[in-house]
Amino acid sequence: MSDSPDLIITDDNPRTGETVYTEFERAEAYALARLFRSLDLEDCRSKAVSDDDAHLMTEGLAKLQSFFAAAGEAPLSIIH
């Protein structure tokens, strides 16, 4: 593995104003993409507080799937 990460995600914390980030090696990013791909509405329903919450979770997962695909970290079957 190289010394530099393959994927970096950053965001600003609205409570503190601090910019936070995390770094992923290619294998980690690819594994997360597979995880996101494997989750479905029923998985979200089992963890959600309401049906609307479950649908929001699946919408968020779809965005994560698209992000990882655009970053080149997606399993081939991630986008339907």
pLDDT at 77 over 60: no
The range of the structural domain enclosing residue 57 comes to 7-70
One-letter amino acid for residue 31 of the chain:
A
Spatial neighbors of 64 by CB under 8 A, at least 6 apart, are: 36
Decide if 78 is inside a domain.
no
Give pLDDT, residue 75: 62
- Note the pLDDT tens digit of each residue in 24-72: 888 888 888 888 888 889 999 999 999 999 999 999 998 888 888 887 7
Please report the DSSP string for 21-48 in residue order: EEEE-HHHHHHHHHHHHH--HHHHHHH-
Give pLDDT, residue 9: 85
Decide if 46 is inside a domain.
yes
Note whether 54 and 45 are within 8 A (CB): yes
Decide if 76 is inside a domain.
no
pTM for the full predicted model: 0.70
Decide if 12 is inside a domain.
yes
Distances (CA, A) of 9 to 1, 52, 70: 19, 27, 13
Note whether 23 and 10 are within 8 A (CB): no
Mean pLDDT over residues 12-21, rounded? 91
How many independent structural domains does the chain possess? 1
Decide if 27 is inside a domain.
yes
